[in-house]
C-alpha cells in the first residue's frame, strides 16, 4: 500500500495467496487504518477480492471511495508501478557494474550489429568498428560520434552500442573510412573466397558452398547465392567450380546469362 501524497509505503506479507476479501479487511485495519486512519479513496486493480460485494460493503460502510484501474491497463496505478520498479532496480543493480561515463573527445568502439555490411555472414563480420571520437555527450546514456555525414550513417548512439577503446585489450580496429564507404553507409570490406566446393538448389534458387580465406573449418563454410559474390575474383571462383562439374546446379549469371528461379508446380 502506497500513499500517493507522502509516498509512504507499507509492505504487508500474506502467508497464503488464497486470501479472500473477508481476510483482507482485518489485515487492512491492522496494517494501515490503525496507523493513518480512514483514507478518502483506495486505488486498486480489478482483482476479484477488491471487486467482491464484501469489500464493496466494507468501503461503503467506512465511507471510502473505490477507484479501480481500467481493465487491462495497469498504468492507472502508476505510483505503485513506479515504487515496484524502484525496488526491483535496487536488487538488480547490486549485481551490475556501473555504466561507463563518457566524455567529449574520448575514443570508443561502435558495435556493428546494426550496420548493414557486405560480408557474407554476420559471424564472419567484425563485432566492433572504430575507434571513433565522441563529438558530444547528449545524455549520460546517448553520445554523438564524429562520423562524416557523407557516410549517411546516423551518428547518435545509445551507450549500449559503444565501448571504451582500450589498446591494451588488443581490440581489432577497423578504419572508419572502411565503415563509411559504399551506398547508404554500407560496409564494403569483404571476406575473400578461397574456393567454391558445392552447389545446390534451395527454395528455387541456386546457392554455392563457400570456403573462405582464413576459415579452414567446415563449420565456418556458408551457402551463398550468386548476388552475394562481390568482385571478379569471387565470381571467377564460381566459374572455376563449374568448369569440371557441368552436371552440378548452376546460376546462369555465372556464365553471363540471366537468373533462373525454379518454382513448384
pLDDT at 180: 47
Compute the mean pLDDT over every residue in the chain, rounded to the nearest whole number. Answer: 73
**Dist CA 252 CA 239 (whole Å):** 11
Q: How many CB atoms lie within 10 A of CB 28?
A: 18
Q: Is the peptide bond before 131 cis (omega within 30 degrees of 0)?
A: yes
The pLDDT tens digits for 39-67 are 777 777 767 777 788 888 888 878 888 87
Task: Return the H-helix or E-strand segment holding 79.
Answer: helix 78-93
Least confident segment among 91-100, 157-166, 169-178, 220-229 = 169-178
**Dist CA 87 CA 85 (whole Å):** 5
The β-bridge relationship of strands 193-202 and 162-164 is: unpaired
SS3 at position 131: strand
The pLDDT tens digits for 169-198 are 545 555 544 454 433 334 333 456 788 999
**Dist CA 29 CA 8 (whole Å):** 17
Q: How many CB atoms lie within 10 A of CB 250?
A: 20
Residues 6 or more apart whose CB falls under 8 angstroms from that of 118 comprise 182, 186, 187, 188, 189, 190, 230
SS3 at position 156: strand
Flag whether pLDDT at 6 surpasses 70. no
C-alpha cell of 89?
532496480
Q: How many CB atoms lie within 10 A of CB 159?
A: 17
**Superfamily of 21-93 according to CATH:** Ribonuclease H-like superfamily/Ribonuclease H (3.30.420.10)
Model confidence at 152, in pLDDT bands (50, 70, 90)? Answer: low
C-alpha cell of 23?
481476510
Q: Sketch the domain layout of the chain as residue ranges.
A: 21-93, 107-185, 193-255
CATH number of 193-255: 2.40.50.40
Amino acid at each position: 500500500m502506497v500513499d500517493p501524497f507522502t509516498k509512504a509505503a507499507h509492505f504487508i506479507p500474506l502467508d497464503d495467496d488464497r486470501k479472500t476479501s473477508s481476510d483482507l479487511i482485518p489485515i487492512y485495519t491492522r496494517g494501515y487504518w490503525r496507523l493513518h486512519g480512514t483514507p478518502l479513496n483506495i486505488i486498486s486493480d480489478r482483482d476479484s477480492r477488491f471487486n467482491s460485494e464484501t469489500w464493496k460493503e466494507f468501503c461503503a460502510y467506512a465511507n471510502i471511495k473505490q477507484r479501480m484501474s481500467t481493465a487491462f491497463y495497469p498504468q492507472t496505478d502508476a505510483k505503485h508501478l513506479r515504487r515496484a520498479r524502484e525496488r526491483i532496480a535496487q536488487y538488480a543493480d547490486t549485481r551490475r557494474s556501473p555504466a561507463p561515463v563518457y566524455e567529449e573527445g574520448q575514443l570508443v568502439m561502435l558495435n556493428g550489429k546494426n550496420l548493414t555490411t557486405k560480408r557474407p555472414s554476420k559471424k564472419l563480420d567484425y563485432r566492433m568498428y572504430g575507434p571513433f571520437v565522441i563529438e558530444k555527450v547528449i545524455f549520460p546514456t546517448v553520445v554523438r560520434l564524429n562520423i562524416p555525414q557523407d557516410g549517411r550513417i546516423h551518428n547518435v548512439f545509445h551507450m549500449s552500442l559503444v565501448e571504451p577503446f582500450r589498446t591494451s585489450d588488443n581490440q581489432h580496429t577497423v578504419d572508419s573510412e572502411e565503415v563509411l564507404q559504399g551506398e547508404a553507409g554500407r560496409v564494403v570490406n569483404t571476406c575473400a573466397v578461397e574456393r567454391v566446393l558445392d552447389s545446390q538448389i534451395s527454395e528455387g534458387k541456386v546457392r554455392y558452398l563457400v570456403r573462405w580465406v582464413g576459415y579452414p573449418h567446415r563449420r565456418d563454410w556458408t551457402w551463398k547465392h550468386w548476388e552475394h559474390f562481390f568482385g571478379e575474383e569471387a565470381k571467377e571462383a564460381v566459374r572455376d567450380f563449374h568448369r569440371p562439374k557441368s552436371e552440378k546446379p548452376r546460376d546462369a549469371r555465372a556464365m553471363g546469362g540471366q537468373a533462373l528461379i525454379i518454382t513448384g508446380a
